[in-house]
Amino acid sequence: MREIGLIWPIVPSGPVMATIKKKTNAMIQNFLFRYFSIEKQVEYLQSKGVSLGTRVKDGRKIYVYMLRNLFVEVIYENDNSSESPEKVHILKGLKSLNSHLEREFRASF
């Protein structure tokens, strides 16, 4: 008689599990962030995100933030970050940000 061994599912633990949790949390955060109102998005960016700086386009000041793997451009009323946001543009990943900025740069000439 031949024994048939059971194959136990491999359950990640330690650093692997921590990485999976971080990625899952980031995906959920990104998904939920996209469905916030503009005001909630900006409030969340200002509290949890990193301000990367500003740039100027067509005489308007655009504030750029990073939130994990999202890059977000925000235009505020009167170009003042303490006033209400007018527009939010979300870019997923550094490649998307670079492509966007290159297109904007080429379009300016």
* Per-residue H/E/C for 8-36: CCCCCCCHHHHHHHHHHHHHHHHHHHHCC
Element (H, E) at 97: helix 94-107
The total of structural domains in the chain comes to: 1
Instruction: Flag whether 94 is in a domain.
Output: yes
Q: Which domain holds residue 89?
A: 15-107
| pLDDT, average across residues 12-30 | 59
What is the per-residue pLDDT for 66? 93
What is the per-residue pLDDT for 94? 92
Instruction: Flag whether 36 is in a domain.
Output: yes
Instruction: Decide: 57 and 45 in contact? Cβ < 8 Å.
Output: no
Element (H, E) at 105: helix 94-107
Q: Is the pLDDT of residue 101 over 50?
A: yes
Residues 6+ apart with CB under 8 A from 74: 42, 45, 62, 63, 64, 65, 81, 85, 87, 88, 89
**pTM assigned to the model:** 0.72
Instruction: Flag whether 102 is in a domain.
Output: yes
Give dist(CA 93, CA 84) in Å, integer: 26
